[in-house]
Structure 1
Amino acid sequence: MGQNSTASLQTWAQVAPTLVAIAAGRAAADRVIRGGKVVNVHTREVLDWEVAIAAGRFAYVGPDATHCIGADTEVINANGSYVIPGLCDGHMHIESGMLTPAEFAAAVIPHGTTTMFTDPHEIANVMGLEGVRLMHDEALMQPVNIFTQMPSCAPSAPGLETTGYAISAEDVEEAMAWPGIIGLGEMMNFPGVVAGDAQMLAEIAATQNAGKTVGGHYASPDLGPAFHAYAAGGPADDHEGTGEADAIARTRQGMRAMMRLGSAWYDVESQITAITEKGMDPRNFILCTDDCHSGTLVNDGHMNRVVRHAIDCGCDPLIALQMATINTATHFGLERELGSIAPGRRADVILTSDLTTLPIDHVIARGVDVAKDGKITVDCPHLDWPGHARQTVNMGPDKTAQDFEIAAPDGANHVTARVIGVVENQAPTQALSADLPVQDGLVEAQGEVCQIALVERHKATGGVTNAFVSGFGYSGDMAIASTVAHDSHHMIVVGTDRAHMAKAANRLADVGGGVTVWKDGKEIGLVELPIAGLMSDSPAAEVAAKAQGIVEAMVACGCTLNNAYMQHSLLALVVIPELRISDLGLVDVRTFDTVPLFEDVR
C-alpha cells in the first residue's frame, strides 16, 4: 500500500533540537506545505501560512517556510486548499463498528480521523482485562493515534446483570500504567457514584492519581441533587445529553459536554443551540460519534460527518472544527501534543477544498501520507489474536422453540405485560404495557409487540430470559439474533416466532458470534463476528456489505426504523432508561431494580 508509519513516533524531547533548527533556518524540513490556507484552531483564524514538517511533527508554522526548504525537502502545493488539523473523536467504541482496531482505523483514516479516544468496555465484558489489553496493543500498532480508556463498569450495573468478566478497581489501577491508556472509560454506574460506591470512587481516584481523565455517562433527565452528586464524583465529561439543558448543565459544572452523532444517536442538533443561540463558550464542547456502524463508516464518514452535521445545524465552521480537534486534545491533556497545526505537535493534517462540506482530499498523520482522494495509502497492522478470543459463544445446548415460551400464570386468559418500547434515533427506551392473550397456557405476542429473549452465552448456564418489545414493526415469521448486546454482550434474540428464534440463536453459536436474520424458515442475513462475538478482522467494506444485508433483511421483516440494528444491540443496556432486559430479568432503569414481566393477570 505504499508508505507505512508503524514505527513509534519520537517524543518532542527527542526531536526538539531538530525542530528548533528547522524553524530557525539552520536545517531543512522533511516536507513543506505551501499555497494553502491554514486553519488556526487556537485563534479561529484562517491564515495564508505555510507549514514545515520533520520527524512526524510540525517544526514551523508561519507566513513563509522558504528558510525550511532544502535540497531533499518535499514541497506539497496545497493549491488553495484549507489546511486543517486531523480530526479527533472524543468518545467512541471501536467494537460498535464490528471491526478490530486495525480495520476500524483503515475505515476512518480516509475520512480524516487521525485521533481516537476509545473505550473498549464491550470486549471487557466478554474477555475482561485481557480483552482490553489486546485492543490497547493493536491500537498502538496503527499509523494514527488511538488512545485507550480503561473500562470502568463491567458489569455496567452490578447486581442487575452478569457479565463474562468483571473489572475491579485493582484492574483499573494496573491499566493506568499501560502506555496507551489515556484515562477511565465512561462511568456508566452513575447511581453507584451518586451513592458513594467504594469501588466506583476507587476507580476514579486511581485515574486521577495517575493524572488522567475520567469519562462520564449520566443517562438520566434528573438535573437535581443526583446530577450534582455525580459531578462531584469526578467525571470530566458526558456524552449522554440529549437536549440544550443537558449541555448547559454539564458545562456549568466544569464538565465537557460531548455531543454525539453516531449511526443511531442524533444528539448534536438538540444541544448545539447552547452555543449557537445561548452563546455558551464553545471551548467546553466536544464532538464525538460514540457508536458507529460499519456501514456508516464506509458510506457516510466518521468525524467529518459529525463536523458537517454541526455546521448544517448552524454552527460556525471554525467552531465546529475546534470541537473536533483542539477542544478534544485539551480535554485529555494533549494540547501540546496534537489537535492543532502548531510547532511541536504531531503532524496530523487534512487538505480540504471547502470548510463547510469538508471533502477530505489528502490526509497526513505523523507527517506521513495516510490517505488521498478517499483511499488509504498505508497499512494498518493486525494483532495475532489468540484462539480463545474466537471461541466466546458458550450458550450450552442448542436452543429449541420451548426455550422461548412464556408461561402464563395458572388460570390466566389475558395478561398485562411490561413491554420495552424502542424509540427511533435515541438510546433511551420507553416502559410500555400491553394486553396480551393466553393460548394453551402460553402468553402470545401480537400486533406491534413481539418477543425478546436474552440468551446467556458466557458460561454455558443455558439461561434464557424472555420478555416483550415493540417498535420494530416486524411481521410474519421471523427472528433476529445478535451477540452484540451492550454491555453484557450475551445474545439478544427478537422475533415473532419461537422456532425462528431458536434457529437464529443456534446459528450464532455455530459461527462464533455475529448477527443473523431469519424469515420464513431461511436465513436472509448474516454478519460473522468471530472475535469475542463482537468484531471481525475482515476489511471494513466486506463487513459493511454484510451489515447492509442485515439492514435489508430487517426491512424485509417489516422494520423501517433508522439504524434499527443499533437499537436492537442496546436492548440489554441496563444503565439507560427506561426498561431493559438482562440475564436476571426485566430491569426498570428509572429505579434500578428488576420488575415482574406481568403487571396484571385476569
Structure 2
Amino acid sequence: MELEVYRRYSQMARGLEKAELVFKNGRVFSSGTGEFIEGDVAVADGIVIGVGTYEGETEIDLDGKVICPGFIDSHLHLESTLVTPGELVRQAAQCGTTTFIVDPHESANVSGTDGIDYILDQTEDAPANVYVMMPSCVPATHVDDNGCLLTAGRMKAYLDHPRILGLGEVMDAPSVINGSIAMHEKLHLFQDRVKDGHAPFLSPGDLAAYVLGGIDTDHECVDYEYAMSEARNGMYVLIREGSAARNLEAIVKGIVEHHTDTSSFCFCTDDKHIEEIRKEGHINYNVKRAVQLGLPVEKALQMATIQPARCYGLYQLGMIAPGRQADFVILDNVTDLNVTDVYHCGKKIIKDEKVEVKPCPPHLK
C-alpha cells in the first residue's frame, strides 16, 4: 500500500475523517474469534477500514441485521451447473457466495488448455472472486481417452496467472501413491501451492502415502469416520452438498455428536445444478442445513468464510477486519440466516441484474 493511501486510510480508521461507506447498527460476525459483536463497519475503496464506531460519507443502517464475510465455495465445477460461468456466478452471488474456487477439468477434458482459458476469460469481470485450480488429471487416468493430454510442461505457462491458485483434484490417486513420474512432476510444479485431492475409500496406508505426496484437501468424504481419518492426516475436509452427491448431513451429524473441532472443515458444492441453486441456495444452504443439524451457527459461518480462506491462502478474504476485502453477506438474523443483501468490494450486488455473456471462441463451439 502506498504511503499516502495508507495515511488517508489511517485517518479514517482513527475516526479523524469520515469513511467513504459505513454499515451501522449491525451485528458483525468476527470469523477469526467466532463471535458476534456490536459495531459499525467502515469501508473505503473496496476494503475494510475498521470495525468500531464510525461516521461515513454514505451510511447504511442494518437495523440489527448480521453482517458476515462473503461465503466461499471451496470446490466446484462451473460446467456442471449447466449454465454459462457468468450466469452461475451471478445466481450464486445473490445467495451470498462471493468467492468461487473452480476446477475446470471437465472443460479441459474436452478442449485442453482452450477450455481452461475459456473459464478464465468468462469469469474475468464477474461480480465476485473467481479462482481456478489447474486440472491435474487430463485424462482422469491412463486408461481414459479425451481431447487433451495435460502435462506438467503445459501447466507451466499458467503458474504466474493471478487467479490460478494451485493444482486441481488429483483423481488418479494410484499415480501419486505408486510414484508416477508424470504425476509427481505436476505435484512438484505446485509444491508451494494448494493441491486438491479426490480420495474416496483409501486404506489407511494409501491415505498416508497420498498425503505424503503433498495433497492438502478432499471433497469425496461420504461419512464422518472417513472425514476424520483425513483430518487426522492433516487434510482439509471440504464437506460437499451438491446435486450429484450430498454428504453434509452424515458428516455434520458426526461432528455434532462427537463435539468435533471444526477448524479442518469447509463447505463446497462440487456439482450443483442451477435449478437447485435457485430453489435451495448455494453455500448459504450448507450453512443453514448445518445449523439445523445442531452445529453452532458460529462454527457453520467459519466453515463458509475464514477456514476456506486460510486453506487456499486467500488472506484478504474470509474476515471483516482492517485491510480485508469488503465482501459481505447481510443476514436477517442468526436463526433464519436468510440472505438479504450481498456486497462485493463494497458494492451491492443487484438482484437479478443481467450479465454480459461473452461470445464463445469459434474453435470451442
TM-score normalised to the size of structure 2? 0.96
Q: Which amino acid aligns with 1:57?
A: I
User: Is 1:258 aligned to residue 238 of structure 2?
Assistant: yes
Secondary structure, counterpart of 1:228 in structure 2: helix
Give the one of 174, 181, 193 matched to 1:212.
Answer: 193
Partner of 1:80: 64
Aligned counterpart in structure 1 of residue 220 of structure 2, from 211, 225, 240: 240
CA, structure 1 residues 29+380, in 2 after alignment: closer, same or farther (shift >3 Å)? Answer: farther
Distance 2:356 2:60 in 1: 27
Deviation at 1:230, TM superposition (A): 0.6
What is the 5 A alignment of 1:286-365? 286-335=266-315, 337-365=316-344
Instruction: Compute the displacement of 1:114 (Å).
Output: 0.4
- Matching residue's letter, 1:345: R
For residue 191 of structure 1, what is the aligned residue in structure 2? 174
Cα distance between partner residues in 2 of 1:17 and 1:331: 32
Asked whether the 8 Å contact 1:153–1:187 carries over to 2, the reply is yes
The answer as to 2:14 corresponding to 1:35 is no
Shift of 1:346: 0.7
Which letter maps to 2:277?
L
Counterparts of 1:309 and 1:19, CA distance in 2: 39
> More helix by proportion, 1 or 2?
2
Residue 141 of structure 1, CA deviation:
1.4
Aligned to 1:152: 136
**Would you say 1:65 and 2:54 are equivalent positions?**
yes
Give runs of ≥4 in structure 1 deviating > 4 Å.
11-15
Residue type at the aligned position of 1:105 = V
Q: Are the aligned partners of 1:150 and 1:176 in contact in 2 as well (CA < 8 Å)?
A: no
CA contact (8 A) 2:19 2:54 kept: no
Structure 2 counterparts to residues 585-596 of structure 1, below 5 A: none
Paired with 2:29 and 2:10, the residues of 1 have a C-alpha distance of 22
Matched position secondary structure for 1:259: strand
Task: Indicate yes or no: 2:14 matched with 1:24.
Answer: yes
CA contact (8 A) 1:19 1:344 kept: no
Equivalents in 2 of 1:30, 1:109: separation in Å?
A: 24
The answer to whether the 8 Å contact 1:19/1:58 transfers is no
Paired with 1:368 and 1:245, the residues of 2 have a C-alpha distance of: 42
Q: 2:165 — aligned with what?
A: 182
Q: Give matches, 1:555-570, under 5 Å.
A: none
What are the within-5 Å matches in structure 2 for residues 67-146 of structure 1?
69=56, 73-146=57-130
Greater Cα offset, 241-250 or 380-389: 380-389
**Offset of residue 14 of structure 1:** 9.2
Mapped to 2, the partners of 1:333 and 1:317 lie a distance apart of 24
C-alpha displacement of 1:353: 1.0
Q: Please report how far the alpha carbon of residue 245 of structure 1 lies from its aligned counterpart in structure 2 after TM superposition.
A: 1.2
2:202 and 2:171 mapped to 1: Cα distance? 15
**Alignment match, 1:595:** none
Provide the aligned length of Structure 1 versus Structure 2. 365
Corresponding residue to 1:201 among 181, 184, 200:
184
SS of the residue 2:94 aligns to: helix
Are the counterparts in 1 of residues 90 and 127 from structure 2 also a CA contact under 8 Å?
Answer: no
- Corresponding letter in the other structure for 2:282: H
Q: Any unmatched runs of 5+ in structure 1?
A: 1-10, 391-602
The CA distance in 2 between the partners of 1:14 and 1:298, in whole Å, is 45
Gap runs ≥5 in structure 2: none
Deviations along 1:184-205, one digit per CA (max 9) or x if unpaired, are 1111111111111111111111
Alpha-carbon separation, structure 2, partners of 1:30 and 1:247: 44
Q: How far did 1:354 drift?
A: 2.1
Letter in 1 for 2:87: E
Q: Distance in 2 between matches of 1:271 and 1:92?
A: 19
Answer yes or no: is the 8 Å Cα contact 2:76–2:268 preserved in 1.
yes
Instruction: Assess if the C-alpha contact under 8 Å between 1:156 and 1:188 holds in 2.
Output: yes
* Cα 1:376–1:341 shift into 2, 3 Å: farther
Aligned ranges for residues 377-526 of structure 1 at < 5 Å?
377=353, 380-390=355-365
Secondary structure (helix, strand or coil) at the match of 1:308 reads helix
CA contact (8 A) 2:18 2:54 kept: no
